[in-house]
Amino acid sequence: MIDQETIGLLLKGVNGVTWQSLVMIGISFVLFYLAIAKDYEPLLLLPIGAGCLLANLPLSPLVASDGMLKVLYDMGVGNEMFPLLIFIGIGALTDFGPLLENPKFVLLGAAGQFGIFLTLLLALLLGFTTNEAASIGIIGAIDGPTSIYVSGILAPHMLGPITVAAYSYMSLVPIIMPPVVYFLTTKQERAIRMPYSSRKISRRTRILFPIIVIALVGTLVPFATPLIGMLMLGNLMKESGVVERLTKASSNEIANAVTLFLGLAIGSTMVGTDFLKPSTLFILVLGLLAFGLDCAAGVLFAKVLNWITGGKVNPIIGAAGISAFPMAARVCQRIAQEEDFENFLLMHAMGANAAGQVASVVAGGVVLALMGAGG
Amino acid sequence: MRRYTLNISDREFIVDVQEIDADNFEVVVGGETYQVNLASEENLAEATITPGFAPSAASAAAASRKSAVSRPAPVAAQATPTSTPAARKPAGGGKGTQTAPMPGVILEINVKPGDTVTRGQQVAILDAMKMHNVIGAAQAGTVAEVFVDAGQAVDHGTPILKFKE
């Protein structure tokens, strides 16, 4: 009755197991562990882990041509819509007040993107193509949506590892950033107090800021228009105060739903045969390096500012010039407080961090322009 | 802008203080304008302004011509006659009130009047920009009074607690 063919059909799943799929399933378990036990960016790593697990099960109908994960990918990752939708939510959550109070910190945000270009050069030396190298460098800004956006255009085949690197490092900011800061600063520098100072920022300024940034950045760096446009749209909705329902929906419901879709779709790109290559390892290592270099560039530039101002800028806040808003600023505050519990430089770090948020988007646009994307 | 009318030894002074930002003020005394920078702020004791209180503060304002003063006179709203210059020691040894270092919401108060604390010991948690900041005691001593409750929004400089003399 039960012939060879029937058994073959019944065991199709078991026979479809490959060593790559087993390794990838193991990786999905690591992602689950980081998300659930370690609480590292669980909102992203858990769906990514689930996408990875589901995509690597034998025959995985979910990534077949009409599979749900494939549909999600085509719906919002392949065409860049998901990262842009998330940016509206990020804009609605970002308070540019501390930056408007201390506009000079925009320089720290710019300095914080320096590592991107150093890493780009290094990746070129290691034999990556220019497009791949640019996508890897962007990881250094620790700005997930921008990384997805840029690599989706320049190197879609590397989207999986780049996204995993960007979001893993984002969750590792509290672990990776302090050693860089400690290495580059002295105890005296870290103890420089930056007392709270604020100017009253008028509502008009807060509303005009996102509009002017859209127009200015959009004109100077057209490739950054989608990202900066959505980021500042979210911020305009927040600051205008007239569309509270839209602001809430963008920063909660829409951002949450899209985060789930994005995580699953990204996880589904981590199919063993594509993911388990030496280049993935290089991406992870180079991404980490880019992150470290971005922090270092920010800190070194803050030291220059400190020297110019005659000792009024604590170099720690330079590290907040990367993106990863607002976590980077919080880590800076924690480092400062370890040296001197009465030092509250959080608002200054927030200013540098908000600048980094904008600067990483601009850097993404500059990279796209340099690579001649879009023909 | 705030206007302070001070009576110092029966002479009346009108002091106008314009806050430019948290630590810079424009102070107008007797028709002359001074740019005043607040270098440090310590609350040495808690009291309301009384007409007779001002000597130390007024002299500070007078001394402020061009140079920065350690404390712009009119902002010394909480000073009392006891806050003579001699009592102005650095935070470590001084007695007085501890204020919020930045705007935010008090999440927790960890001490109550009568508690003895060491310098740096956690007295409160301040949520600023969604970050939980530990506020450490500015000095060792006994807590005399706590001015804020959990859940209360505070501004930069809002008194949090006062230490016993």
- Look at residue A95 and tell me whether its pLDDT is greater than 90: no
Across the beta sheet with B141-146, the strand order is B97-99, B159-163, B141-146, B116-117
Residue found by looking up tokens 């890493």 in the block: A119
Rounded to whole angstroms, what are the CA distances from A266 to A44, A156, A170, A325, A337? 10, 11, 16, 22, 37
Question: Residues of A at the B interface (Cβ-Cβ below 8 Å)?
Answer: 95, 98, 101, 195-200, 326, 329-330, 333, 337, 341-342, 344, 346-347, 350
Two tokens at A304?
Answer: 């220059």
Two tokens at A319?
Answer: 């590290």
pLDDT: is A188 or B68 the higher one?
Answer: A188
Shortest distance between the Cα of B136 and any Cα of chain A, in A, equals 7
For position B2, what pLDDT does the model report?
Answer: 80
Two tokens at B80?
Answer: 């009392």
% of chain B beyond a pLDDT of 90: 24
Nearest residue of chain A to residue B102 (CA atoms): A196
Residue found by looking up tokens 């993935």 in the block: A280
- Look at residue B73 and tell me whether its pLDDT is greater than 70: no
| Partner-chain contact B129 A95, CB within 8 Å | yes
For position B41, what pLDDT does the model report?
Answer: 66
| Partner-chain contact B22 A346, CB within 8 Å | no
User: Does pTM top 0.90 for this prediction?
Assistant: no
Mean pLDDT of chain B: 72
Two tokens at B85?
Answer: 């210059």
- Look at residue A272 and tell me whether its pLDDT is greater than 60: yes
Q: Looking at the partner chain, which of A197, A333, A341 has a beta carbon nearest the beta carbon of B22?
A: A197
| Partner-chain contact A333 B20, CB within 8 Å | no
Q: Looking at the partner chain, which of A101, A333, A342 has a beta carbon nearest the beta carbon of B136?
A: A342
Q: Looking at beta carbons, which residues of chain B come within 8 Å of A333?
A: 131, 133
- Look at residue A159 and tell me whether its pLDDT is greater than 60: yes
For position B45, what pLDDT does the model report?
Answer: 52
- Reference A352, options A321, A324, A319, A316; nearest CA is A321
| Partner-chain contact A326 B91, CB within 8 Å | no
Q: Looking at the partner chain, which of B21, B131, B136 has a beta carbon nearest the beta carbon of A197?
A: B21
pLDDT confidence tier of residue B55, bands split at 50, 70 and 90: very low
For position A374, what pLDDT does the model report?
Answer: 56
Class of domain B97-163: mainly beta
Rounded to whole angstroms, what are the CA distances from A91 to A240, A248, A302, A309, A358? 13, 11, 25, 31, 10
Rounded to whole angstroms, what are the CA distances from A37 to A29, A167, A270, A302, A324? 11, 17, 22, 36, 22
| Partner-chain contact A330 B23, CB within 8 Å | no
CA distance B21 to B38: 10
- Section B81-105 average pLDDT: 59
| Partner-chain contact B128 A347, CB within 8 Å | yes
- Look at residue A141 and tell me whether its pLDDT is greater than 80: yes
| Partner-chain contact B130 A326, CB within 8 Å | yes
Nearest residue of chain B to residue A102 (CA atoms): B21
Question: Residues of B at the A interface (Cβ-Cβ below 8 Å)?
Answer: 20-24, 91, 101-103, 120, 128-131, 133-134, 136, 138, 156
| Partner-chain contact A344 B120, CB within 8 Å | no
CA distance B13 to B6: 5
Residue ranges in chain B assigned as alpha helix (H): 55-62
Of A41-45, A99-103, A299-303, highest mean pLDDT: A299-303
Q: Looking at beta carbons, which residues of chain A come within 8 Å of B103?
A: 196, 198
- Per DSSP bridges, beta strands B24-29 and B11-21 are antiparallel
| Partner-chain contact B102 A326, CB within 8 Å | no
Neighbours of A208 (CB within 10 A): 13
- Section A256-285 average pLDDT: 90
ipTM value: 0.70
Distance of CA B7 to the CA centre of its chain: 21
Q: Looking at the partner chain, which of B24, B91, B101 has a beta carbon nearest the beta carbon of A196?
A: B101
Q: Looking at beta carbons, which residues of chain A come within 8 Å of B102?
A: 196, 344, 346-347
- Per-domain boundaries in chain B: 2-87, 97-163
Q: Please give the sequence-ordered ranges of beta strands (E in DSSP) within A41-93, or none if there are none.
A: none
Shortest distance between the Cα of A32 and any Cα of chain B, in A, equals 26
Rounded to whole angstroms, what are the CA distances from B108 to A104, A345, B99, B123? 34, 21, 15, 8
Mean pLDDT of chain A: 90
User: Which residue in A334, A341, A343 has the most chain B C-beta atoms within 10 A of its own C-beta, making it the best mutation to test that interface?
Assistant: A341
Shortest distance between the Cα of B12 and any Cα of chain A, in A, equals 31
| Partner-chain contact A199 B131, CB within 8 Å | no
| Partner-chain contact B91 A342, CB within 8 Å | yes
Q: Looking at beta carbons, which residues of chain A come within 8 Å of B133?
A: 333, 337, 344, 346
DSSP code for B98: E
Q: Looking at the partner chain, which of A198, A330, A344 has a beta carbon nearest the beta carbon of B101?
A: A344
Q: Looking at the partner chain, which of A199, A200, A346 has a beta carbon nearest the beta carbon of B102?
A: A346
pLDDT: is B8 or A286 the higher one?
Answer: A286
